[in-house]
Amino acid sequence: METSVKKRTALIYPVLLILTMLTLVMRPAQVTAAVRTSLYNCINTVIPSLFAMMALSRLMISSGAYRLLGRPFTLAARYIFRIPEDMLSVFFISVTAGYPVGASLTAQAYRDDVLTREQAEDMLCWCFGAGPAFIFGTVGMGVFGSMRCGAVLFVSCIAADILTGIVTALGRPVPPKSGRSCEISFSADMAAEAVGSAGRAMFGMCTVILLVSALLAIPCESAAAAHIADAAGKFIGTDPSDMIVLMRSAAEISNISFLTGDERMLPAAAAALSFGGISVLMQVRSVCGGLSIGRMAVMRIFAAGTAYIVCHLLKNIMIGAGTAAVNAASDISIRHNPPILSVFLLIMTIFLLSQKRVEKSEKM
């Protein structure tokens, strides 16, 4: 009986896959437009804002420098977040390097037996966030036309992560001192490997972004989505088009760059940035190895709600109810990175990876 149920359940996945493929074939225009838009976001937003920090963060891990970064916060790491004394550095790197970096570093620490499974799965919940380049440049200045708005968003997301980290640590014992020595070493091979690893990660991120955008193109363009956005917009008192953008951002966060810039959307933008979106969760799942992300998905909803509340309070304090972050007549122009630069960046990364493989084969 149990075997027959498993067989029937197993049939659901290929049937859903076939139906999805048929739907994509029937609506090629919507899918093509969504993928084209996401590709533009990858080239102009994702790669320029994340590549450098991702490469440097991997170099910090391979060199051991991350341990030095976490040493001043030993007491906070052990007694507040209940993690090994030098692991708080992973949080600092995660909020400066971008979404999947924290998960990648946490998974590496788990594989190196620095973290237990419970500690690692809890750290996945709060070592998570958009990098400052994306928040300040793309959302703060690019959407709301204000660095102050970017600061409000950044502080709100960090505050939500810290509170999430404290909540996940409740009930866990204080870990003992590790006593590990802080050895740091740099080499040219480390730097090359860090760049290559960042390039592979960027390629994986962009492919996930394109896939999610293609799958959600039709639901987001449906009449049901328009009705939901219209009702939510009337309830909040904002443009329904912004609600459509937020719905798209819940799937793929780079879509947040298409908000109109109404300052009333700041708390909602903070919540979207804190949650990260379905595509980011998929990216985390791909880099975290055997770790479960079930608890993380739930806690990111908690973090999104926290970020919304904190941003609402900070907006009134730092910006003021009567001060608009962006006026309709504002002529702030945001210059995007030329797409050709990002293309060259990917080509150089691929060339570097192929060169390393040639060198290794020659040695063998």
Task: Report the 10 Å Cβ neighbour count for 28.
Answer: 10
Domain spans in the chain, listed from the N-terminal domain onward = 29-321
pLDDT at 301: 94
d(CA 251, CA 30): 16
Q: What is the pLDDT of residue 350?
A: 47
Q: Is the pLDDT of residue 322 over 50?
A: no
Exposure string of 304-341, with b = 16+ CB inside 10 Å and e = fewer, is bebbbebbbebbeeebeeeebbbeeeeeeeeeeeeeee
| pLDDT tens, residue by residue, 34-73 | 888 888 878 877 787 678 877 887 787 778 777 777 778 8
Q: Identify the pLDDT of residue 360.
A: 47
* Residue 27 pLDDT exceeds 60: yes
pTM over 0.85: no
Mean pLDDT of 246-255: 83
Write the pLDDT tens digit of every residue in 279-288.
888 888 877 8
- Least confident segment among 111-120, 208-217, 297-306, 341-350: 341-350
Span 341-360, average pLDDT: 45
pLDDT exceeds cutoff 50 at 339: no
**Residue 324: predicted pLDDT:** 43
Pick the range with the lowest mean pLDDT from 29-43, 116-130, 184-198, 317-331.
317-331
Query: Mean pLDDT in the chain?
Result: 78
Which has the higher per-residue pLDDT, 308 or 329?
A: 308
Percent of the chain with pLDDT over 90: 19
Which is more confident, 129 or 274? Answer: 274
Question: What pLDDT score does 316 carry?
Answer: 83
Q: What is the mean pLDDT of residues 105-118?
A: 86
Residue 73's pLDDT is: 85
Mean pLDDT over 235-239 rounds to 71
Segment 112-141 mean pLDDT: 88
Query: Three-state secondary structure along the chain?
Result: CHHHHHHHHHHHHHHHHHHHHHHHHHCHHHHHHHHHHHHHHHHHHHHHHHHHHHHHHHHHHHHCHHHHHHHHHHHHHHHHCCCCCCCHHHHHHHHHHCHHHHHHHHHHHHHCCCCCHHHHHHHHHHCCCCCHHHHHHHHHHCCCCCHHHHHHHHHHHHHHHHHHHHHHHCCCCCCCCCCCCCCCCCCHHHHHHHHHHHHHHHHHHHHHHHHHHHHHHHHHHCHHHHHHHHHHHHHHCCCHHHHHHHHHHHHCHHHHHHCCCCHHHHHHHHHHHHHCCHHHHHHHHHHCCCCCCHHHHHHHHHHHHHHHHHHHHHHHHHHCCCCCCCCCCCCCCCCCCCHHHHHHHHHHHHHHHHHHHHHHHHHC
